[in-house]
Homo-oligomer: A and B are copies of this chain.
């Protein structure tokens, strides 16, 4: 039993929700995928495993995974929301190339600290944040 299974199971139990084969397939696939993906890509990956799944169930389950803290959702400038799993990937933000679309991950503890300072100063209780820098990547500039 993986860590993410345990977390999802307790999350569901606490909310009186059930761990179904579909939810298990979604959880597994999300944690096998080590890149950003969108909901319909996830549907396709699961269907290639010969498993039946509906778009609605995938959307519904992704919401649950986000609420459980296992997945983050973000808008990287394209039309669709993209997702990535959390365990094994510490928090990071993105540089987004407006020419090729590439998303470069970065992490700067000092920026995060200063964000917290801003919140303290304004008496705001931060829960999450999203920092996106748009421009040209190394190979596109």
Give the interface of A toward B (CB within 8 A).
75, 95, 97-98, 104, 106, 108, 110-111, 114-115, 118-119, 122-138, 141
Contacts and interface: CB of A to CB of B under 8 A. Distances in A.
Nearest to A137: B124
30 contacts: A95-B118, A95-B122, A95-B124, A98-B127, A104-B124, A106-B118, A106-B122, A108-B118, A111-B111, A111-B114, A111-B118, A115-B131, A115-B133, A119-B135, A122-B138, A123-B138, A123-B141, A124-B133, A124-B135, A124-B136, A124-B137, A125-B135, A125-B136, A125-B141, A126-B133, A126-B134, A128-B135, A129-B131, A129-B134, A130-B131
A105 to B, nearest CB: 10
Contacts of A108: 114, 118
